[in-house]
């Protein structure tokens, strides 16, 4: 193989590598984004808390329930049963609602990484 | 341009096309996964049904509350709205006999939900669900069996 042929072959390999690198970078970027899906986790946490509240209010018995929070997510609930969940690494909070029940008296006590719900 | 150069250009274009296809595929899968909708309407309907049958509409006497025995006097819109009200979530409750004749019905729907529940499939960002269960109902000192049908319309964000 002469010099020209060798340079041409190396050029082709570089072009190939560039394209392969692009695909690998996109794949790694996508998998990083999926693994660190804070928004999704925050949405799930808000919904989970909302359903726990609804399930407790649907019970006809007395209930004491400890909801274990994700330590990176803070949860707040207002009197209209609107739940606000915020991940420490994200700017905007996620909102979700639970069913407002005027007939049952549910008390919420925030402890460290736990929420005590009593009916 | 000679024949070899044209061949090289075609070859590089082919690489570009393949790379773009693979990259777009990965990106679409990732974006779809990240933005996947969490549909909770069925679960919300299940919780609502438990709430209605176990507490809000359950017949109560000196012996206590009787789950799955529906007190027809309690089936009113006022009691339903006090029992379970959620923004964007509306529902209707019907008590039917085994011949599917409506004994009593009430709902917790606003004006828009009342109109939309009939044409739910065509209303964007809304999900509807119907659930029917067997219940006993108490009316005029008489206990009968029948169905309770819950129809739900839910705003999906």
- The burial class, CB within 10 Å (0-12 / 13-18 / 19+), for B120 is middle
pTM confidence score: 0.76
For residues B154 and B44, the answer to whether their CB atoms sit within 8 Å is yes
Q: Is the ipTM of this complex over 0.85?
A: no
Tokens standing for residue B97? 């006999």
Taking CB atoms and an 8 Å limit, are A97 and B82 in contact across chains? no
pLDDT at site B152 = 94
Helix H or strand E segment including A39:
helix A38-58
d(CA B26, CA B142): 63
Residue from B134, B70, B144 nearest B105 by CA: B70
Contacts of B85 in chain A (CB under 8 A): 99-100
DSSP B52: I
Average pLDDT, chain B: 88
Report residue B2's pLDDT band, with 50, 70 and 90 as the boundaries: low
What is the structure's pLDDT at A104? 82
Position B59 pLDDT exceeds 60: yes
Interchain contact, A26 vs B23, CB within 8 Å: yes
Of B12, B33, B54, the CB nearest to A34: B33
Q: What Cα–Cα distance (Å) separates residue A106 from each residue in A38, A55, B49, B56? A: 29, 12, 19, 15
CA distance A82 to chain B (A): 9
Domain boundaries, chain B: 1-36, 41-155
Judge: B87–A31 Cβ closer than 8 Å, yes or no: no
Calpha distance A31→B91 (Å, rounded): 40
Kindly report, residue by residue over B60-119, the tens digit of the pLDDT: 988 888 999 999 999 999 999 999 998 889 999 999 999 999 999 999 999 999 999 889
Chain B residues in contact with A27 by the CB 8 A cut-off are 26
Nearest to A103 among B16, B33, B56 (CB): B56
Chain A residues with CB-CB distance to B48 below 8 A: 58, 99
Lowest mean pLDDT among A105-114, B25-34, B134-143, B144-153: B25-34
pLDDT along chain A (119 residues), means of 10: 66 82 86 80 90 89 90 89 89 88 86 88
Please give the Cα distance from B131 to B42 (Å, whole number): 9
Q: How far apart are the first and last CA of chain B?
A: 57
Digit-coded pLDDT (tens) for B79-96: 999 999 988 899 999 999
Instruction: Say yes or no: A59 contacts chain B, CB-CB below 8 A.
Output: yes
């Amino acid at each position: 193989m002469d010099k020209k042929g060798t340079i041409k072959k190396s050029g082709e390999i570089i072009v190939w590598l560039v394209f392969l690198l692009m695909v690998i970078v996109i794949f790694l970027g996508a998998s990083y984004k999926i693994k660190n899906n804070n928004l999704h986790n925050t949405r799930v946490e808000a919904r989970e808390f909302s359903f726990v509240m609804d399930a407790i209010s649907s019970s006809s018995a007395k209930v004491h329930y400890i909801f274990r929070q994700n330590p990176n997510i803070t949860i707040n609930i207002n009197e209209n049963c609107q739940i606000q969940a915020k991940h420490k690494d994200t700017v905007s909070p996620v909102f979700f609602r639970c069913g407002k029940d005027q007939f049952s008296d549910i008390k919420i006590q925030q402890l460290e990484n736990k929420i005590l719900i009593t009916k | 341009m000679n024949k070899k150069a044209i061949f090289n250009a075609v070859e590089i274009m082919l690489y570009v096309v393949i790379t773009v296809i693979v990259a777009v595929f990965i990106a679409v899968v990732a974006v779809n996964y990240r933005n996947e909708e969490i549909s909770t309407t069925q679960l919300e309907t299940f919780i609502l049904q438990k709430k209605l049958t176990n507490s809000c509409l359950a017949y109560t006497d000196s012996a206590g509350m009787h789950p799955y025995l529906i007190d027809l006097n309690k089936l009113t819109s006022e009691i339903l709205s006090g029992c379970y009200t959620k923004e964007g979530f509306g529902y209707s409750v019907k008590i039917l006999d085994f011949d599917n004749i409506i004994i009593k019905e009430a709902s917790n729907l606003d004006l828009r939900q009342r109109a939309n529940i009939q044409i739910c499939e065509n209303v964007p960002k809304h999900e509807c669900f119907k659930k029917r269960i067997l219940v006993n109902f108490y009316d005029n000192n008489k206990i009968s069996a029948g169905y309770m049908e819950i129809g739900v319309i839910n705003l999906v964000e």
